[in-house]
Amino acid sequence: MKIKRVEIPIPIPALKKVNSYILEDDDEVILIDLGMHVPQSTNMLEESLIEDGYDPLNISYTIVTHLHIDHIGGAGYFQRKYGWKLAIHKGEAEMIDYVTKDVDEKANYFESLLISYGIPKIDAREITHLMPGFSYRDVYHGIEYDIFLKDNDELSVGKTTLKVVETPGHSPHHICLYDARNKILFSGDHILPDITPNIRFPFEEEDSLGEYLDSLDKIKKLDIRRYYPAHGPVMSNIKSRIRELKCHHLERLWDILNVISDRDMDLYNIARNLSWDVKLPWDEFPAVQKYFAIGEALAHLNYLEKRNAVERKRIENKIYYHVGTRYKSLMDEIEGALCEYQG
């Protein structure tokens, strides 16, 4: 199988580019991930296909690894221009439909939820308007889904078989694609070589971090020689990268437990007291970075709550966290795991 990585520019400063992959085998051509809906993105993919001698009208189908706009945003443009068929996990398509309907009602609910977590109203409103389902709803409405996927489905590219591996955590039903014959994995945003994938903002009692860690274990069991991420270069060290990612989340859990200690704290103040890669004081964080930080902190808090290391309580319509019955024992477990990973 022939694989071409196309680095597509995207107007997201923290990322700058997203990888689209052109796969060819036995005269059949497909694409994985399609960039955004802006000309700089769609033009690059289109020009790359033509420069390599591919007729855009002869693409068999396309696959998106998940619902985020930098992966699926260009789909509508290419569907309208070339009639490309789109394959997506059924759960991702259902989530898109859910978040892009009754937007005003959902926005009001989300804003009130953020306020209950201690987020100041001005921040809550700004963060809500940044939610992709709200801000990009017109783009999402212009996309059609042709092939619905689920875990363990198999897709063919000529003589090559790609197995769908569902890996939730970064998004509700993110998928990787595994070629067992060539021992390669298209990892989407699940495993990135230089960036720690963001864990999605959990709604209600979702354990998005637990799902992500379980998904890492699922990938670790596969025989993988190289992995092709959605951001960054093709890499070969997937097991050591999984180790690094697990270590990062253990450290984040440890930090949260230490921040809470013996106090009652709301989500906003927990998040602002953690260390982030943004080299600015918390009050100067751009709204999008506050959204990612707050969502990440909540994902870790939900993980800890489900394991009885923290408990939540409501005081006058505000949610606070304090240590739970397994606080000390889980601290010991995390410390032991960190020693193992770092040793």
Residue 339, pLDDT > 90, answer: no
User: Count of domains in the chain?
Assistant: 3
116 and 262 housed in the same domain:
no
CA distances, 188 to each of 47, 65, 128, 170, 171 (Å): 22, 6, 25, 10, 11
Asked whether residue 242 carries a pLDDT value surpassing 90, the answer given is yes
Give residue 260's pLDDT. Answer: 94
Do both 201 and 299 map to the same domain? no
Percent of the chain residues past pLDDT 90, beyond the cut: 84
Average pLDDT over residues 97-107: 89
Under the banding of pLDDT at 50, 70 and 90, the label for residue 135 is confident
Q: Where are the beta strands (DSSP E) in 145-251?
A: 147-149, 154-157, 160-166, 175-179, 184-188, 226-229
pLDDT at 343: 60
Q: In terms of domains, do 238 and 158 share one? A: yes
> 3-state SS of the chain: helix, strand, coil percent to 5?
45, 20, 35
Residues 276 and 316 in one domain: yes
3-state secondary structure of 18: strand
- Band the pLDDT of 19: cuts 50, 70, 90: very high
Shared domain check, 272 and 164: no
Q: Of 243, 270, 304, which residue is a domain's last?
A: 243
pLDDT grade for 130, boundaries at 50, 70 and 90: confident
Tokens at 12, concatenated: 């997201």
Q: Are residues 145 and 125 in the same domain?
A: no
What are the Cα distances from residue 132, in Å, to 73, 100, 158, 333? Answer: 11, 9, 35, 36
Please check whether residues 84 and 212 belong to one and the same domain: yes
User: What backbone torsions phi and psi does residue 140 show, to the nearest 5 degrees?
Assistant: -60, -40
Residue 272: CATH number of its domain: 1.10.10.10
Q: What is the 3-state secondary structure (H, E, C) of 86-130?
A: EEEEHHHHHHHHHHCCCHHHHHHHHHHHHHHCCCCHHHHHHHHHH
Judged by average pLDDT, the poorest of 33-37, 213-217, 259-263 is 259-263
Residue 341 has pLDDT above 80, yes or no: no
Do 159 and 302 fall within a single domain?
no
Domain range holding 112? 102-132
Per-residue pLDDT tens digits for 310-328: 999 999 899 999 999 998 9
Please report the beta strands in 26-105, taking only residues with DSSP state E, as ranges in sequence order.
28-32, 61-63, 86-89
Q: What is the pLDDT of residues 278-310, one digit of tens each?
A: 889 999 999 889 999 999 999 999 999 999 999
CATH number of the domain bearing residue 31: 3.60.15.10
Residue 35 and residue 176 in one domain = yes
Residues 236 and 296 in one domain: no
**Rounded mean pLDDT of 127-135?**
82
When the pLDDT of each residue in the chain is averaged and rounded to a whole number, the result is 94
236/277 same-domain check = no
**How large is the average pLDDT for residues 153-157?**
98
Are residue 303 and residue 175 in the same domain, yes or no? no
Say which residue, 204 or 143, is predicted with more confidence. Answer: 143
Backbone torsions φ then ψ of 105, nearest 5 degrees: -65, -45
pLDDT-above-70 percentage for the chain: 99
Handedness of CA 156, 162, 166, 169 (dihedral sign): negative
